[in-house]
Structure 1
Amino acid sequence: MQSSNRAPQDSGQQEASSNVSGHGYVAEGFEPVAHAFQASIMSGEALGAACTIMHRGKTVVDLHGGWRDSARTEAWGADDIALVYSLTKGLTGMASAVAVSQGLFSYDERVSDIWPEFGAHGKEAVTVGEALSEQAGLAAIDLKLTLKNIGDEEAICAAIAGQKPNWKPGDYAGNHAYTLGWIASELIHRRDPQGRRLPQFFAEEVAGPLGQDVFIGLPESFDRDRIAKIEGFGMQDLFIRHTTMPWALTFKMCLPGTLAFRTLNNPLVLEGPQALDNEDYWRIGQGAAGGMASARGLATLYNAFAEGGEKLGVTPEVMAILTKGHRHPHKGLKDKVLTADMYYSHCFEKPFSAWEFARTRSAFGSFAVGGSLAFCDPEDGVAYAWITNQLGTAKWDDAREKLVRDAFYTCLENRS
């Protein structure tokens, strides 16, 4: 791996940086993060990856390495992007926070007051906050999805609205692997004076103002040579390469009729998440699992929230809601789909006793299938993004990513 001469962009003056044995820069005192990052690449456990970390508005880590293709012929570039799967939920959470701040709707408002059809089959009392915190019981959609109809938001939202919930709303939360994006998009569409759906709203109100290569729906104009292609896993790999994914989930994902199967295999049907890494899907703008982003872009967007949200017009009241988190489901944090505890809140995930991914509970972000993680911690002033194109099989705390994050926090503690 060779050093890059390209300096990262940040929202303030770049701290004194030193070249590292790899691609990118680290600020003085953060050299161990570069060593941890390089270890993941050199071990072969990550085909390619990128990591950008900002602290108090300054970029302290900006690294990339490995390959953006499985043939290992194209090196991962500093500004390359990749399909980031469920990290998209965090982007949708940002757009929703902007929408709430603009007065389009509130988290306490009932979804059915905005979208009357949604109230069918006992869903009339579900609030926006509950729906965006994955408590509405709409994890599995009854409509059969394909890559041909997955872009038909009008038909899909009609199906979601008329569907009986998978559980009593508010009792549990469960991974709304795809439906979360459509729910948020419909809420924005119905209240936005311009009638925009999520992809356009996000581009114009979040990514655009910050000038970042982060997309929910990849534009035709984007250079396809800057896309790192995904190297995925098949269902057999969940058994052969089993790490921290719950065995109950591993089995249920393979059993037709279970909630996990119906949620996670529609539209994939046992093909594995790599099947979504194609031109047709990139363009759709699926708001829960279809985002395309660079690590630099993700960190910059999260930094806007780490600094209080003012750059995007997010109000202090909305920031307080995001940092506090949505109330837990009535019957606890165990995810009805993933069979393990998770804390979902307003399209993000929050730290809790089983997964303290940040130093303070003010943090919020999202973890994705395969190991990628992006979040901010407003109290700590941290914005973090680690993405990879080689999908692992961890529940969370992917070993490759966690090695880098732990090194960063050790360096941060040594500086204080």
Structure 2
Amino acid sequence: MAGTVKGSCDPKFAELKEEFERNFAERGEVGASVCLSVNGETMVDLWGGVADAGTGDAWQENTVSIVFSCTKAATALCAHILIDRGLLKRSALVSDYWPEFAKNGKEKTTVQMMLNHESALPALRGPVKPGGFNDWDYMIGRMQDEEPFWEPGTRNGYHMVNFGWTVGELVRRVSGKSLGSFFAEEVAGPTGARFWIGLPDSEKPHIAPILTYVPKDGDVPTEFTQLLMTDPASIQHLSFMNSGGWNPNDPEAHKAEIGGAGGLSNARGQVAMYTPLACNDGSLVSPDRLASMGMVSTATQRDATLLVPTRFASGFMKSMDNRAYPAGDQMTAIMGNDAFGHVGAGGSIGFADPECGLAFSYTMNQMGAGLLVNDRGQSLIDAAYKALGYRTNQPGAWVR
């Protein structure tokens, strides 16, 4: 049956499996995967449901889907590998590597500002040409020419899809390889991760089409959503809607290297990427670089894009607890205090928590409300931490 949950689960994580099954029975899950490793050992690897709602085909072991902004973590990891090798410096000006960027008020932008969502390019004002997101050179030209929305470095605002071109172009300039090629050679290849920034044709049969979220009666819109729908000149509208018609189910979008939102993977693929970081084994980055990757590098009470409090490490999300705010459950993702990773629009997530050696990921094809994790993903995260002996997430992160 298409709805059957398959895979393996250590008895220690029986509650997580129960929550995964509840997602299908009670929370509107269509097709999904969840995976985690602890100290390098895979303890949970489950999948189930329907991959293609049109055909009824079941979600299989190798099914992948767009993981949206989870891709940002893969892009950031590429940058950190170059930082670790001394080829890219966080304190350096972007113009040291990308001279054409230094104009229209962006001359003093640093690499760290780009990693922190502080480079003031959360959106583009002029219309993106049809198919523009699939054209790397075109988007880099747009990044170069755009005027910043604020003085770079003075505040942060989530760089929705643009993060993939700002940070990704640094990777390309420094490494001499495209972002997707660098990731494939330096991360996905060595770790065995089924994760692509630019999908090869051979993987087309394994794609689960994304199902967009349909608002329900009683949904409370976030301030972000309200502005997105009512103010065409707002950062919220431009960052989300000015996309040149980008469609996450377009085969051309799958082939394009969209480092801010276009990666394709599943939970097992993301866990493969995060496991060396959770174990601090030095295979991807040095222990010192790993420690820096997990530290909060910018935080605010009002993100210029998301309009809620946010916390970021250098290119990664930290635990974000906005449960006390109106519709805050749509803007919350609670992990361990030392964890770092990234969510994807509609609810997917991947992260590493070196404190307990945990690498975790959940991916799905049916998007939920909001831009961070919803009850489907959070229930799985919560069950994982409980199984590892963590006591509560009331402080805003899981603690023992």
The answer to whether the aligner puts 1:181 opposite 2:181 as a matched pair is: no
Aligned to 1:398: 374
The answer to whether the aligner puts 1:322 opposite 2:290 as a matched pair is: no
The answer to whether the aligner puts 1:408 opposite 2:384 as a matched pair is: yes
The answer to whether the aligner puts 1:340 opposite 2:308 as a matched pair is: yes
Q: 1:370 aligns with which of 342, 346, 369?
A: 346
TM-score (norm 1): 0.86
Structure 1 residue matching 2:280: 3-state secondary structure: coil
Q: Does structure 2 conserve the Cα–Cα contact (< 8 Å) formed by 1:147 and 1:280?
A: no
Aligned to 1:115: 98
Q: Does structure 2 conserve the Cα–Cα contact (< 8 Å) formed by 1:307 and 1:378?
A: yes
Counterpart residue type for residue 109 of structure 1: A
The 5 Å alignment of 1:186-197 reads 186-192=169-175, 195-197=176-178
CA distance in 1 between partners of 2:271 and 2:47 (Å) = 14
Structure 1 residue 2: Cα displacement: 8.9
The 5 Å alignment of 1:14-413 reads 22-43=5-26, 45-71=28-54, 73-192=56-175, 195-222=176-203, 224-233=204-213, 237-238=214-215, 240=217, 242=219, 246=222, 248-254=223-229, 255-267=231-243, 275-308=247-280, 310-312=282-284, 314-328=285-299, 332-352=300-320, 354=322, 357-360=334-337, 362-413=338-389
- Please identify, of 64-73 and 281-290, the stretch whose mean Cα deviation from structure 2 is larger: 64-73
Structure 2 residue matching 1:206: 3-state secondary structure: helix
CA distance in 2 between partners of 1:22 and 1:250 (Å) = 34
Structure 2 residue matching 1:93: 3-state secondary structure: helix
Per-residue CA deviations over 1:325-368 (Å, capped at 9, x if unaligned) read 3144xxx34211111111233221112554562222x2111111
Structure 2 residue matching 1:317: 3-state secondary structure: helix
CA distance in 2 between partners of 1:147 and 1:282 (Å) = 16
Counterpart residue type for residue 347 of structure 2: G
Structure 1 residue 125: Cα displacement: 2.0
Q: Does structure 2 conserve the Cα–Cα contact (< 8 Å) formed by 1:184 and 1:198?
A: no
CA distance in 2 between partners of 1:162 and 1:147 (Å) = 18
* Residues matched between the structures, number: 382
Structure 2 residue matching 1:68: 3-state secondary structure: strand
Q: Does structure 2 conserve the Cα–Cα contact (< 8 Å) formed by 1:120 and 1:162?
A: yes
CA distance in 2 between partners of 1:240 and 1:277 (Å) = 27
Q: Does structure 2 conserve the Cα–Cα contact (< 8 Å) formed by 1:90 and 1:347?
A: yes
Counterpart residue type for residue 302 of structure 2: K
TM-score (norm 2): 0.89
CA distance in 1 between partners of 2:292 and 2:351 (Å) = 16
Q: Does structure 2 conserve the Cα–Cα contact (< 8 Å) formed by 1:349 and 1:364?
A: yes
CA distance in 1 between partners of 2:294 and 2:11 (Å) = 30
Q: 1:250 to 1:298 in 2, by over 3 A?
A: same
Q: 1:72 to 1:159 in 2, by over 3 A?
A: closer
Structure 1 residue 44: Cα displacement: 5.5
Structure 1 residue 285: Cα displacement: 1.3
Unmatched runs of 5 consecutive residues or more in structure 2: 323-331, 392-399
Q: Does structure 2 conserve the Cα–Cα contact (< 8 Å) formed by 1:238 and 1:250?
A: no
CA distance in 1 between partners of 2:215 and 2:226 (Å) = 9
Q: Does structure 1 conserve the Cα–Cα contact (< 8 Å) formed by 2:118 and 2:154?
A: yes
Counterpart residue type for residue 21 of structure 2: Q
Structure 1 residue 294: Cα displacement: 1.5
Structure 1 residue 153: Cα displacement: 1.9
Unmatched runs of 5 consecutive residues or more in structure 1: 4-20
Counterpart residue type for residue 359 of structure 1: G
Structure 1 residue 117: Cα displacement: 2.0
Counterpart residue type for residue 336 of structure 2: R
Percent of pairs with identical residues = 29
Structure 1 residue 138: Cα displacement: 0.2
Counterpart residue type for residue 382 of structure 2: D
CA distance in 2 between partners of 1:352 and 1:294 (Å) = 23
Structure 1 residue 407: Cα displacement: 1.5
CA distance in 2 between partners of 1:113 and 1:212 (Å) = 32
Structure 1 residue matching 2:34: 3-state secondary structure: strand
CA distance in 2 between partners of 1:131 and 1:399 (Å) = 30
Q: 1:170 to 1:213 in 2, by over 3 A?
A: same
Q: Does structure 2 conserve the Cα–Cα contact (< 8 Å) formed by 1:372 and 1:387?
A: yes
Q: Does structure 2 conserve the Cα–Cα contact (< 8 Å) formed by 1:23 and 1:63?
A: yes
CA distance in 1 between partners of 2:56 and 2:210 (Å) = 14
CA distance in 1 between partners of 2:267 and 2:107 (Å) = 39
Q: Does structure 1 conserve the Cα–Cα contact (< 8 Å) formed by 2:75 and 2:164?
A: yes
Per-residue CA deviations over 1:366-405 (Å, capped at 9, x if unaligned) read 1111111111111221111001100011343301111111
